[in-house]
Structures are given as C-alpha cells and as structure tokens.
Structure 1
Amino acid sequence: MLEVTDLHAYYGKSHILQGVNLNIQEGEIVALLGRNGVGRSTTCKAIMGEVVPHGSVKFRGQEIAGKKAFEVANLGIGYVPENRDIFPGLTTRQNLILGLKPGQKDGAGRWAMQDMFDMFSNLSERADVEASVMSGGEQQMLTMCRTLMGDPDLVMIDEPTEGLSPQMVQKVATVLQEIAKRGVSTLLVEQKLSIALDIANRVYVMGHGQVVFEGTPQELKERDDVRKEWLEV
C-alpha cells in the first residue's frame, strides 16, 4: 500500500532523513520506533508533504512525493500529528465534522460520528463543549477521531500515548486495534515499547535518520543489541 524508497529530508542545511526505506501492507500496523530526534516524525511529515521529500513515496502504486498535504489526504492518507492540532474554539462535534472530506457525508465511509462517541464516551459527553476545555487525553482522542472521520485507507499516528494516563493509553491501544480490524493500515510512531510490540505486525527502528532494524515484534524482543543501542535510555 505504501512504499517509501531512499527518502531524504532537510531542515535548512540539516540532513534529517538519510535514505529511509519502509513499506506498509493492507490492514497492517507498523510501528516506527527510535529515540527522540532520529527522524520518526519527519518521516511522517515527508510522506504527508509537510516537509519537502527527496526520494520516492508511492501510495497504491502512485508516486505522491512532492504533492501538497491536502492532495495526499484526499488520496486516502490520514495524519494525526503529535501536537494535537485541534480547533479550540469549536465544539467536539464541530471538530469531528471538519474531518470529513469535501462532499463526504457522516457515515458514508467506515466511520461515523457515532462510532467515535461509542469508542470514547468522553467525547460523547463533551460533544457540544468547546475543545479548549478538554483534557490533554481527550484532545488526543479528538485528534485521532477527526482524522478517522475522513475515512483514510492509511493513517499515520505520531506519539498518540504521550503524556496520557495508563487508562487512557489502554483506550488508545484498543482504538488502534479497531482501526486495523476495519481494514485501515497504520504507521504508528511510538515511544512506549510495550504498546508498540503488543499491537504491531512489524516494526522499524530508526537511528541517525535511517532504518537500522526491520522485523517482527518477536524478532526485536530477541535482539538485545538493537534495543540497547537504539532504543533504551
């Protein structure tokens, strides 16, 4: 579904991505692991067109490197950024409506607004409350759900459990599994190894702007050398 080949990206003169290669298949959860600053978030932004990509990014066989972010989104890729870009002055319901693509009606795809309320009762209780008064965890839920409202075929989710309570982390994990059940592929950028290794089908480990390991969660568990050098603090 998604094939990234020799992907490079820069911030000014800083060479952040230095030849990233990865792929994601239909309905697969792929975890992108690594320490802060190795290029995981930049990989998502380069795929999405928020950072200029140098290399090849193919989605369903179509080259999308160089397309604008809204064009990538309209092709079927959703993006949940780490910084929870909600619209604070709008209600929960209004934020969710903004996730719909032009001409798309609520419930026309795999997800309806009621699905979001069923998965996260907090959102239902705050449906008509301004998003600015929501907790960080609720805002994270809202960001994920708003992206799903656009019915993407692949969703990239950047650090969804950062700063959340253990209970909320478990809710996010449950939703990620539900996303996969509905046939949506997922690229998950995550710091918590326990969550990533529990739900991912495959994992990539990044270091210094490159992929330094690719394999199954079990294979990574068996590689103490990889975990010590590239993941553990």
Structure 2
Amino acid sequence: MLEVRDLHAYYGKSHILQGVNLDIAAGEVVSLLGRNGVGRSTTVKAIMGEVPPQGMIRFKGQDIAGLPSYKIARCGLGYVPEHRDIFPGLTVRQNLLLGIKDVRRPGKWRIDGMLEMFPNLAARADTPAEVLSGGEKQMLTVCRTLMGDPELIMIDEPTEGLAPLIVQQVGDLIVRIAQAGVSILLVEQKLSIAMRISHRVYVMGHGRIVFEGTPAELRENRAIRKEWLEV
C-alpha cells in the first residue's frame, strides 16, 4: 500500500533523512522506533508533504512525493501529528466534523460511533476542546483524522506525556483501528505498546533504517536494542 524508497529530507543544510526505505501492506500495523532526533517524525512529515521529500513515495501505486498535503490526504492517507493539534475554541463535536473530507460520501467512521467508543469525549461533546485533558485531546485528534476515512493512518508519538492508564487506552484504540481494516504507521518511543500491537517494526538511527523485522526478532536482537533503542 505504501512504498518509500531512498527517501531524503533536509532542514536547511542539515541532511536529516539519508535514504529511508520502508513498506506498509494493506491492513498492517508497522511501528517506526528510535531515539529522539533520528528522523522518525521527519519521515512521516516527508511522506505527508509537510517537509519537501527527495526520493520515491508511492501510495496505492500513485506517486505522491512532493504533492501538497491536502492532495495526499484526499488520496486516503491520514496523519496525526505529535503536537495534538485541535481547535480549542470549537467543541469536541465540531472538531470531529472538521475531519470529514467528503460529506457526500459516508465513511466507515461516524461521530455517534466515535462518541460511543469514548465516553469521556461523549460527556464533553458540546464542550470547548480546550478543557480536555492531554489524553482526551489525543483521542480527539486521532478520532478527527479517522473521520476523513483514511485507508492508512500515520500516528506520531500518541502516548507522549500520557499517564499509564491512558497509554493503555491509546494502544487499545490503535488495535481497534487496525481491526477496522486501516493500515497504521506508528511512530513511538514506548517499546511496550509498539511490540504489543505491531506486525513489523523498523528501527531508525542517524536518518537511516538500521533494522527491519517482527517484534519477536527485535526482542531477540540485543545488539540492535542496545545500540539504537536503550538509554
């Protein structure tokens, strides 16, 4: 579904991505792991068109490298940024409505269904989103992206700064998204959640992919974990 080959990206003169290759198949959950600053967020931003990419990016067979972000989103690619962008002055319900890309074509995700899944959001459906907790804002950001009915969703650091109970809920949400047939690229630092829900994992180091395999293969590869993941 998603093919990335020899992807390079720069911030000014800084060469951040240095030939990244990755693949995500339909219905697959893939995690992109690594320490802070190795290029994981830049990878998803380059795929989404927020950072100018150099290289091949194909989604469902279509070359999307360099397209504007809104056109990439219309192709069926969703993106949940790490900074939990919501519209604080709008209600939870209004934030969800803004995620719909085509009102003429009903998608598999509906507002009523979202609120049913998350009672906390339902209780505040008509409340300004600025009053939500950090975990509730994260849930709202993911749900708003789902309202656009993506076929693949990229989620950047969804558990950053959240309490352990909320981390578990976020993990359960990602599993539920996958069970609905949506492919997922998860950028995550917490190994526990990534290893629990992923079919495959990539490990990044210094702007390159240094490991690709299953969670079980990563558990067995102590050298990779020690050099690129452990603090």
Q: TM-score range by the shorter chain?
A: over 0.9
- Post-superposition Cα deviations, 1:153-210, rounded to whole Å, max 9, x if no partner, equal 0000000111111111111111111111111000000010000000000000000000
State the 1:222 CA deviation. Answer: 0.1
Which stretch shows the higher mean deviation, 142-151 or 118-127? 118-127
Q: Distance in 1 between matches of 2:113 and 2:209?
A: 36
Q: Distance in 1 between matches of 2:146 and 2:94?
A: 14
Deviation at 1:211, TM superposition (A): 0.2
Q: In structure 2, what is the equivalent of residue 209 of structure 1?
A: 207
Q: State how 1:19-38 maps to structure 2 within 5 Å.
A: 19-38=19-38
Distance 1:222 1:64 in 2: 36
**Equivalent residue, structure 2, for 1:198:** 196
CA offset at residue 104 of structure 1? 4.2
Counterpart AA for 1:206: M
Sequence identity (%): 68
Which of 160, 163, 166 matches 1:162? 160
Which residue does the alignment assign to 2:112?
Answer: 114
Structure 2 counterpart of 1:8, one-letter code: H
- The root-mean-square deviation of aligned C-alpha atoms, in Å, is 0.8
Q: Distance in 2 between matches of 1:165 and 1:4?
A: 33
Q: Does the residue aligned with 2:38 lie in a helix, a strand or coil?
A: coil
1:119–1:175: 8 Å Cα contact kept in structure 2?
no
- 2:60 aligns with 60
Take 1:104 and 1:3, find their aligned partners in 2: how far apart are those partners?
Answer: 30
Matches within 5 A, 1:5-24: 5-24=5-24
Alpha-carbon distance in structure 2 between the residues aligned to 1:38 and 1:52: 17
Q: Does 1:181 align with 2:141?
A: no
Number of aligned positions between the proteins? 231
Question: Which stretch shifts more, 109-118 or 136-145?
Answer: 109-118
CA distance in 2, matches of 1:139, 1:103: 24
* TM-score, normalization by structure 2: 0.99
Could you tell me which amino acid in structure 1 is paired with residue 15 of structure 2? H
Partner of 1:221 in structure 2?
A: 219
Contact 1:6 1:18 in 2 (8 A): yes
CA distance in 1, matches of 2:33, 2:148: 26
